[in-house]
């Protein structure tokens, strides 16, 4: 079980088989790999750059592949990491396939006139309930661990909290506090850039936990990347020019894990 798998289950709508906030989810799923590596004490973050602490394999092929790529570069920034997100719905479909391989979902093969993520049917309600329970612990002020809070940060960055806690403003506020240290940084790209130093300093002083810092920075950058994509495409939630061209990897093939 990984953060990305639980995140996708939180975005999944059982009645329709669709994915909420699908355009944001491809960035959030990419970022979830970093969260899992941080939780495994394989990476940390210093001045908004990712540093490898331990190159030992984790036993998860996805994480080991990411760890190897991080180790091959000189402390890449979070923004650089996010820009390698597959275009189109490739990342979302990849995780749908992983959950299908685990028997959690059944993929629905449907033809669509436009590129779209695969539709699915939920087979394991218990698994989805477990993911929701993790988020609930943060949303309702219960006892939560680093992994729960990191998941909450990712859910907030993808805008899932406003759907899952539509009628609970206090729950949304708790998740927002965990997922972002500076709401002002969400206004414009310039505000994001100017807030970088202030946010990093605040997190360094107030939170010694590297995972909390990583989550905060991921939320900020995910919001910026999504807005950049929206603006550069003239309102259409497609692929930004800095990402790989085309409709992306929409392969429905299952992946090993």
Position 248 pLDDT exceeds 70: no
Query: What confidence score (pLDDT) does residue 204 get?
Result: 32
Asked whether residue 255 carries a pLDDT value surpassing 50, the answer given is no
Range of the domain at 147: 3-108+125-232
Whether 237 is in a domain gets the answer: no
Mean pLDDT of the chain: 75
- Give me the pLDDT at residue 138, please: 94
**Cα gap 201→207, rounded to integer Å:** 10
Residue 118 resides in a domain? no
Q: Nearest 5°: CA angle at 6, between 239 and 204?
A: 80
pLDDT over 50 at 187, yes or no: no
Q: What is the mean pLDDT of residues 236-252?
A: 35
pLDDT higher than threshold 90 for residue 6: yes
Dist CA 127 CA 142 (whole Å): 20
What domain count does the chain have? 1
Q: Is 97 exposed, middle or buried (CB count within 10 Å of its CB: 0-12, 13-18, 19+)?
A: buried
What separation in angstroms does the CA of 75 have from each of 38, 51, 69, 78, 81? 14, 5, 11, 9, 10
Residue 174 lies in a domain: yes
Residue 248 placed within a domain: no
Does residue 94 lie within any of the structural domains? yes
The whole-number pLDDT of residue 163 equals 96
**Whole-number Å distance between alpha carbons of 187 and 202:** 19
pLDDT class for 109, splitting at 50, 70, 90? confident
pLDDT in tens, 196-235: 444 333 333 333 356 676 777 777 776 665 554 445 444 4
Backbone angles phi, psi at 50, to 5 degrees: -90, 125
Tokens (6 digits) for 35: 């969260």
* 151 pLDDT tier (thresholds 50, 70, 90): very high
Residues in the chain, total: 257
Question: Taking Cα atoms as reference points, which of 5, 26, 21, 11 lies closest to residue 244?
Answer: 26
CA nearest neighbour of 244 among 91, 74, 34, 118 = 91
pLDDT reported for residue 237: 39
- Category of 76 on φ-ψ map: left (φ > 0), alpha (ψ -120 to 50) or beta: beta
- Mean pLDDT over 153-172 rounds to 93
pLDDT computed for residue 257 by the predictor: 45
- Residue 52 scores a pLDDT above 50: yes
Q: What is the CATH number of the domain that holds 47?
A: 1.10.3630.10
Q: Assess if residue 23 is contained within a domain.
A: yes
Q: What is residue 246's predicted lDDT score, i.e. its pLDDT?
A: 33
Judged against a pLDDT cut of 60, whether residue 250 lies above it is answered with: no
Q: CA-to-CA distance for 68 and 61, rounded, in angstroms?
A: 10
**Does residue 185 surpass a pLDDT of 50?**
no
Collapse the DSSP code of 90 into the 3-class scheme (helix H, G, I; strand E, B; otherwise coil) and give the result. Answer: helix
pLDDT of residue 171 exceeding 90, the answer is yes
**Under the phi-then-psi rule, with left for phi > 0, alpha for psi from -120 to 50, and beta for the rest, what region is 73?**
beta
Question: Within a domain: residue 59?
Answer: yes
Percent share of the chain, pLDDT over 90: 34
pLDDT at res. 38: 87
In a domain, 11, yes or no: yes
């Amino acid at each position: 079980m990984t953060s990305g798998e639980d995140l996708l289950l939180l975005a999944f709508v059982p009645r329709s088989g669709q994915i909420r906030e699908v355009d944001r989810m491809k960035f959030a799923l990419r970022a979830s790999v970093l969260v899992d590596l941080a939780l495994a004490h394989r990476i940390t973050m210093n001045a908004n750059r990712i540093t490898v602490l331990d190159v030992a394999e984790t036993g998860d092929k996805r994480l080991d592949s990411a760890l190897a790529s991080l180790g091959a570069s000189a402390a890449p920034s979070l923004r650089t990491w996010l820009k390698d997100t597959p275009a189109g719905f490739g990342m979302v479909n990849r995780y749908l396939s992983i959950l299908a391989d685990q028997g959690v979902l059944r993929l629905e093969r449907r033809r669509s006139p436009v590129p779209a993520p695969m539709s699915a049917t939920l087979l394991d309600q218990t698994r989805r309930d477990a993911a929701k329970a993790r988020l609930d612990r943060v949303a309702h002020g219960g006892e939560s661990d680093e992994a729960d809070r990191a998941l909450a940060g990712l859910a907030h960055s993808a805008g899932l909290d406003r759907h899952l806690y539509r009628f609970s403003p206090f729950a949304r506020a708790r998740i927002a506090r965990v997922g972002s240290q500076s709401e002002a940084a969400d206004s414009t790209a310039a505000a994001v850039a100017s807030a970088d130093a202030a946010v990093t300093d605040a997190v360094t002083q107030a939170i010694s936990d590297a995972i909390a810092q990583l989550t905060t920075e991921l939320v900020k950058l995910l919001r910026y990347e999504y807005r950049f994509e929206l603006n550069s495409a003239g309102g259409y939630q497609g692929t930004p020019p800095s990402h790989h061209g085309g409709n992306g990897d929409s392969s429905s093939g299952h992946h090993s894990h």
